[in-house]
Every structure is written in structure tokens, then in C-alpha cells.
Amino acid sequence: MAFFTSKTLDFWRGLARNNSKAWFDEHRKDYEKHLKEPYQALAVALCDGLRAEQPEYTIDPKKAIYRINRDTRFSNDKSPYKTELGITIGRSQKHDPDWPAYTTRLGVNGLAVAGGMYMPSTEMRDALRRHIAEEGDGLRAAIDTPAFQDLFGELGGEAHKRPLKDLKEAAEREPLVMNKQWTFWAEHEDPEILLDDNLDEIILDHWDAARPVAEWFKTALGELGYS
């Protein structure tokens, strides 16, 4: 089914040019019909589709979405509204630091599909780094699958500049030992992709390509006593 239309892009582009409460209030009906409603419907489709293949993801779709209002309290940018929205599916909450999550971002700059271990605790992070040092061949094999390589290429994420002394040799073999987080990210810069009738399937197919990586982390977390 189609979620967004050309009127969605018209609204978002207009908002990008006129990011003010006055403009938003004037176009609130367009927001409700052409952005908010299909955005919520897409969240339902993605949560249902992911849960069908990976049942542990039980988050309520209403809790996987974001408000369009920006929090400007600590930002120099006082624009009141976002020109990009996301849908993040953690195991039972949006930001679940203890399990691989899946996310997508959509807006005037197109579509991004991503996921991974974004905010592990310090203890979990260090345990995963040592696990990668010892059992990283399986993770590397998951990264090297053709589907993952075609869409994402490599695991990213912030990394330490210097390895822990006991992991120095392992880091030379596998740089992912240096990471503080392990994330995958794919971008489609043409916003016209948001008008595709199969947008939900496009996103779910990306997540399916990343599933071997996510499953490696799930297994690792279980072996480390975190699941």
C-alpha cells in the first residue's frame, strides 16, 4: 500500500522553507492528513512486519514514533519542527540499550535505514568487545554476506582511538574490537523513494539483510548473560 504522496513532500519542503509555528498552524490539516496519518500507519506496518519474523520485538507502534516538535531548550537551532522523522523498534521499547534495534529516518533528505547496538552500557560494551576479540569470525561472516554488503557495506559507530592493552592484538585483526557501538546505516537521498507503494517492504528488506548481524549480537548477549 502507498503511505506517503507528493502532498507529503510538498508539506515537508514547505516546512523546511518556513519552519515556524505560524506556517505550521496554517498547514496543520495537511500535516494531519498527508504526514501524521501515513507516518503512524507506516509504524504499524513496520512493527507488525518485523514482529512476524522476530517475535521478541513487541513494542507498541505508538511508542516507536517521534513527535514532530523539536526540543529546542539546549539547541542553538530554535526551529520548532523537525523536517525528518524516525521510527525506532527496540525489543520492548524505543531505545532499548540491551538488544539490537532497528530504525529508519525519513524526510526532505530522503530515506535512511539503520540499526544495531547503539547505546550499550559500559559493562556490556566492554563484554561485547572482548567477545568480538574471541568470537569475531562469526560477526565478520555476517557482515560479509552479499545482502549486507550490498546495502550497508560495513558496521560503523563511534570507536576508541586506542585499544585496551589486552585487546591491542585483537584490534589489529578485527577493528570492530575498538567500537563503542556497532551500527549499520544505508541512505537513499532521493525523497521520491518515500512515495513507493512498497515503502514498508523496502525498509523491512533492509532490516532482513542486516538480520545475520543482529542475530550474532543476540547470541553473543545470551552467551554473556544479558538476554
Closest CA to 223 of 156, 135, 148: 135
The model's pLDDT over 203-216, given as tens digits with 9 standing for 90+, comes to 999 999 999 999 99
Q: Is residue 58 part of a domain?
A: yes
Could you give the CA distance from residue 80 to residue 67 in angstroms, rounded to a whole number? Answer: 11
Contact status, residue 162 vs residue 171, Cβ threshold 8 Å: no
Distance between CA 158 and CA 180 in Å, rounded? 6
Residue 1 forms part of a structural domain:
no
The CATH number of the domain holding residue 34 is 3.30.930
Residues 91, 105 contacting (CB under 8 angstroms): no
Round to whole Å and give the CA distance between 160 and 204.
31
Beta bridge partners, 113, equal: 104, 186
Residue 160's pLDDT band, with cuts at 50, 70 and 90, is: confident
Question: How many other β-carbons are positioned within 10 Å of the β-carbon of residue 162?
Answer: 8
Query: pLDDT-based confidence at 64, cuts 50/70/90?
Result: very high
Evaluate whether 145 touches 212 at the Cβ level (below 8 Å).
yes
For the beta sheet containing 101-107, the strands, ordered from the edge strand earlier in sequence to the opposite edge, are 84-89, 101-107, 110-117, 182-188
DSSP helix, strand, coil percent of the chain (3-state; round to 5): 50, 15, 35
The answer to whether residue 33 is domain-embedded is yes
User: Which residues, listed in sequence order, are joined to residue 69 by a DSSP beta bridge?
Assistant: 81
In a domain, 26, yes or no: yes
| Predicted TM-score of the model (pTM) | 0.95
Instruction: Look at residue 216 in the predicted model and tell me its pLDDT.
Output: 97
- 1 has a pLDDT exceeding 80: no
User: Per the domain annotation, does 95 fall within a domain?
Assistant: yes
For residue 69, the one-letter residue type is N
The pLDDT value given to residue 163: 66
Q: How far is CA 216 from the centre of its chain?
A: 17
Taking only the tens place, the pLDDT of each residue in 169-205 is 888 889 999 999 999 999 999 999 999 999 999 999 9
Query: Domains in the chain: how many in total?
Result: 1
| For residue 227, pLDDT beyond 80 | no
Task: Tell me the pLDDT of the chain averaged across its residues.
Answer: 94
Please name the amino acid found at residue 128. L
Residue-number span of the structural domain to which 91 is assigned:
6-223
